[in-house]
Amino acid sequence: MDIPIPADPSGMNPSSGDYPRLRLPGGRLFTERANRLRQLAQGHSLGEFLLFSANLADAQQALFDTYPDIPLPDLAFLQRCQEHGMAPLAPAGWALDPSWRPVLARLVAQIQQDPALPPMAQAALRRLAQATAIEAGTKVTAEPGKVTQTETPSLPLAFEDEGDQEDGDQPLTDAALAAPDWTESQARLILDDDITGLDLATAPFIGAALQVHWTRLAAHLTPDQVAPPADKALCPVCGSPPVAAVIRAGVEDAGLRYLHCALCNSQWHRVRAECSQCGNDRDLGYYYMEGRQDDPVSAEACPACQGYLKICRLDKDHLAEPLADDLASLTLDLLLGEEGFARAGLNLLLWQGTETAEGGQSRFQEMI
């Protein structure tokens, strides 16, 4: 059954005076993200990357609008999740419906039409198109391309010059692509936040399809079907970590902090007086870029767990969007890494590598 999706399903009872503890994703989320990315791209040093990400968000919106019906958990399952404080759409307990695979193929086909794609992105998409075609039992002609990875945090992968790649980088082989359920295994690595064996060049596109799938599922729930999270640092809908926090500026939620889910795009309330990850309420630090305290993006760093999470303040810019503003503020990540803090937020277009043996600075694998 096709259930209408409201523009802002906050789960609030207007007559009660209560603030919404859970905000489920709205129907125009990906369009709003694309618009923000294009705004941020103007004059930005990573403008091409942000524009590419905007085109990806546009493709996600088109798929979201035409996504096939997906059966939700039955009422008995939802009731058990409520009784035990479990996320009803957690990937570990909720099987990945096969409908996501043709959606991934459609996403790849749409992004391949972008005339401004850099060569390495083209190569990654050709290989992903080959993998999805093999799994669907069809044949494609895919020009071989070398898919590599880089450790520099300053430029996204597919925007590097091929001549800058390290000699030891390994291409994704045709044998790996032909393995049964290759995209399914890659999806599982993404859902488990595990970069071991993950193909970093194709991962953002797989992650984008998974985002559409879980956002569609979450949008068809109601807030009263979701129990408060047992772990306040994880999404009560799907159990995933946040990409960033949001300080809202609406009539009913002005000044309240919500964490924004990296996977299903739900937002859940988290009090501001404590670390969003470990609950510590002492000596929290707030970091901005030098001379830019009026920017809507900052980072909250915790001395107890040594983690940090970015914060998007809608009271400073009502168009700020967690994933988009996270991508546009990578310099802030470098600053926090130099201070010895580890990134707590998960962005499906950014993956944090291991710490270096000397100095402990965090580094990033950027997957587009």
CATH of the domain at 328: 3.90.1670.10
| 47 and 189 share one domain | yes
Cβ(166)–Cβ(150) below 8 Å: yes
Point out the domain boundary residue: 219, 245, 267.
219
Stretch 43-51: mean pLDDT, rounded? 94
Q: How confident is the model at residue 149 (pLDDT cuts 50, 70, 90)?
A: very low
- 11 vs 26: CA distance, rounded Å: 12
299 within some domain = yes
| 356 and 238 share one domain | yes
| 202 and 273 share one domain | no
| 78 and 184 share one domain | yes
Q: What is the pLDDT of residues 261-296, one digit of tens each?
A: 999 999 999 999 899 999 999 999 999 887 777 889
293 within some domain = yes
| 187 and 254 share one domain | no
Q: How confident is the model at residue 71 (pLDDT cuts 50, 70, 90)?
A: confident
| 251 and 207 share one domain | no
pLDDT of residue 289: 84
110 within some domain = yes
Q: How confident is the model at residue 318 (pLDDT cuts 50, 70, 90)?
A: very high
295 within some domain = yes
Q: Does residue 95 carry a pLDDT above 80?
A: no
Q: Does residue 56 carry a pLDDT above 80?
A: yes
Q: How confident is the model at residue 176 (pLDDT cuts 50, 70, 90)?
A: low
Which two three-digit tokens encode residue 259? Answer: 């964490």
3 within some domain = no
192 vs 244: which has the higher pLDDT? 244
Q: In whole angstroms, how far apart are CA 301 and each of 27, 190, 252, 294?
A: 32, 25, 27, 18
**Phi and psi torsions of 350, nearest 5°:** -140, 135
Q: Does residue 140 carry a pLDDT above 60?
A: no
pLDDT of residue 109: 94
Range of 65's domain?
22-219
| 179 and 241 share one domain | no
| 322 and 301 share one domain | yes
pLDDT of residue 138: 57
- Looking at the chain, the whole-number percentage of residues with pLDDT higher than 90 is 58
| 201 and 335 share one domain | no
Packed helices 100-111 and 47-65: angle between N→C axes, nearest 10 degrees: 140
156 within some domain = yes
| 68 and 206 share one domain | yes
Q: Does residue 175 carry a pLDDT above 70?
A: no
Point out the domain boundary residue: 193, 219, 245.
219
Point out the domain boundary residue: 219, 254, 287.
219
Q: Does residue 367 carry a pLDDT above 90?
A: no
| 125 and 183 share one domain | yes
Residue indicated by tokens 């939620």: 253
196 within some domain = yes
pLDDT of residue 93: 75
Cβ(96)–Cβ(65) below 8 Å: no
| 240 and 199 share one domain | no
> Among the listed ranges 191-200, 204-213, 280-289, which one has the minimum average pLDDT value?
191-200
Mean pLDDT of the chain: 81
339 within some domain = yes
Number of domains in the chain: 2
pTM, 2 dp? 0.83
Q: In whole angstroms, how far apart are CA 322 and each of 122, 327, 331?
A: 27, 9, 16
pLDDT of residue 240: 96
